[in-house]
Amino acid sequence: MDLHSRYPGIADLKHRAKRRIPHFVWEYLDSGTGVEATLHRNREGLDRVGFMPSILHGPMEFDTSTEFLGKTYPLPFGIAPIGMAGLIWPDAEGHLARAAAKAGLPFTLSNVASQSPEDVAPHLGENAWFQLYPPKDPDIRKDLLNRVRDAGFTTLVMTADVPVASRRERQTRSGLTNPPKLTPRLLAQIAQRPAWAIGMARSGPPRMRTLDKYTDNSSNLPPTAHVGYLLRTSPDMDYVHWLRDAWDGPLVVKGVLRPEDAAPLQKAGVDAIWISNHGGRQFDGSPASIDALPAIRAGCDLPLIFDSGIEGGLDVLRAKALGADFVMLGRGFMYGLGALGPQGPTHVIDILRQDLLANMGQLGAETLNHLPAITPLVDAAAQR
Ligand code: FNR
């Protein structure tokens, strides 16, 4: 099967994933919070970033490689952390880790993923990143960092934009509870998705395996929280300093939108800032992530990672042109998994690569260091 003729874009994978995974899993993956204004703003913000196409360049040779944190990557993007990815497809983290290793791209494992650092260790390439919802207990912190280092992770990402649980109303409406309970309603949704159901029956229900060691799973949790909340704290700058001392590899802080947060993070010795509004999943009143990027870029010289709303190669170029050094995707990769299982992540990488090249051609940009200045498009909706 030629995947490119059947699924030429991430939108095609999204469409298929929706039909292959149960409704509550889809809602977990696809939803934002509130009325999803931030989720839509992410898309609208990206659509407003335009370029003047550049002509008469003759034949061109393209180079999509990017330097980031002392390494050269063949492409300027990687895989963002996804909690409980195993709910989307069995062995999700294994498929993601292998695809990233094969392509030489970063894969970020969430500490609330459904596989542990030890589970994915055999599949990791050189660019394994680990994301931390910061544990409260200092002994757990230390133990976790040792496990992560021993498993082969090089870069630590602390997520700062989840100080409290978000409400994610769509998720709740779908019948998903915490802890997840197999109610007749969820069973009815599962029954309509046989390929997913068979896969899950074989692999067993996913759980947050990294945390197994530290939890007894018995506590009562608020309705939108999960077992990860038992362990995590709402971090402050002292926490960042502690992490900086405890981790000798690159340290990244994820979930930054305010320019004034950059300087203290830089002073604390953070190696890069990850600009993100968590794909619109946390706070429905925040600006589009892309609209926060220019001011942060203008005010600091740290390497910047960007995510939230990226759906194709053109979006990657938009973020790069506005000053991002590297780009990450969350849902895009998960739509690939939901649509195509094991083949999904590699197909997403291929789509992004082809889309990057096609759009670099339109811009006459042979490398990612030679992107033209952006042309703001005032009314994105009117352009469609
Ligand atoms: C996430 N995200 C996330 N972030 C994080 O730091 N730790 C995590 O465990 C998770 N879990 C998670 C689950 C699901 C289902 C989604 C969709 C997202 C956020 C993620 O890393 C990233 O910031 C966003 O997904 C980026 O937006 P896009 O690419 O999905 O639009």
- Does residue 309 have its Cβ closer than 6 Å to ligand 1? yes
pLDDT in tens, 207-254: 999 998 998 655 555 555 666 777 888 999 999 999 999 999 999 999
- Does residue 43 have its Cβ closer than 6 Å to ligand 1? no
What predicted TM-score, i.e. pTM, was given to this entire model? Answer: 0.96
Alpha carbons 253 and 274: distance in angstroms, whole number: 6
Give the pLDDT confidence score for residue 184 in this predicted structure: 95
Q: What is the mean pLDDT of the chain?
A: 95
- Does residue 305 have its Cβ closer than 6 Å to ligand 1? no
- Does residue 331 have its Cβ closer than 6 Å to ligand 1? yes
Q: How far is the CA of 197 from the centre of ligand 1 (A)?
A: 24
- Does residue 41 have its Cβ closer than 6 Å to ligand 1? no
Tokens 């998720």 sit on residue:
171
Q: How far is the CA of 337 from the centre of ligand 1 (A)?
A: 15
pLDDT in tens, 327-347: 999 999 999 999 999 999 999
Question: Of ligand 1's atoms, which has the minimum distance to the CA of residue 332?
Answer: 29
Question: Of ligand 1's atoms, which has the minimum distance to the CA of residue 274?
Answer: 23
- Does residue 232 have its Cβ closer than 6 Å to ligand 1? no
Q: Do 277 and 283 meet the contact criterion of CB atoms below 8 Å apart?
A: yes
Q: Do 43 and 309 meet the contact criterion of CB atoms below 8 Å apart?
A: yes
Q: How far is the CA of 77 from the centre of ligand 1 (A)?
A: 15
Q: Do 229 and 221 meet the contact criterion of CB atoms below 8 Å apart?
A: yes
- Does residue 352 have its Cβ closer than 6 Å to ligand 1? no
Give the pLDDT confidence score for residue 378 in this predicted structure: 83
Question: Of ligand 1's atoms, which has the minimum distance to the CA of residue 80?
Answer: 21
Q: Do 75 and 66 meet the contact criterion of CB atoms below 8 Å apart?
A: yes
Compute the chain's Rg from CA coordinates. Answer: 20
Query: pLDDT band at 87, cuts 50/70/90?
Result: very high
- Does residue 34 have its Cβ closer than 6 Å to ligand 1? no
Give the pLDDT confidence score for residue 311 in this predicted structure: 98
Which amino acids are annotated catalytic?
Answer: 278
Give the pLDDT confidence score for residue 86 in this predicted structure: 97
Dihedrals phi, psi of 37, to nearest 5 degrees: -65, -40
Question: Of ligand 1's atoms, which has the minimum distance to the CA of residue 308?
Answer: 27
pLDDT in tens, 99-135: 999 999 999 999 999 999 999 999 999 999 999 999 9
Give the pLDDT confidence score for residue 96 in this predicted structure: 98
- Judge whether residue 325 has pLDDT over 90: yes
Give the pLDDT confidence score for residue 228 in this predicted structure: 75
Pocket test for ligand 1, best of 30, 110, 174, 176 (most atoms within 8 A of CB): 110
Q: How far is the CA of 338 from the centre of ligand 1 (A)?
A: 15
Q: What is the CATH number of domain 3-374?
A: 3.20.20.70
User: 3-state DSSP call for residue 311?
Assistant: coil
Average confidence (pLDDT) over 253-257: 98
Q: How far is the CA of 143 from the centre of ligand 1 (A)?
A: 24
- Judge whether residue 382 has pLDDT over 90: no
- Judge whether residue 380 has pLDDT over 60: no
Give the pLDDT confidence score for residue 225 in this predicted structure: 61
pLDDT in tens, 154-182: 999 999 999 998 999 999 999 998 777 89
- Judge whether residue 383 has pLDDT over 80: no
Buried b (16+ CB within 10 A) or exposed e, 222-245: eebbbbbbbbbeebeeebbebbbe
The closest of 367, 364, 374 to 55, measured between CA atoms, is: 364
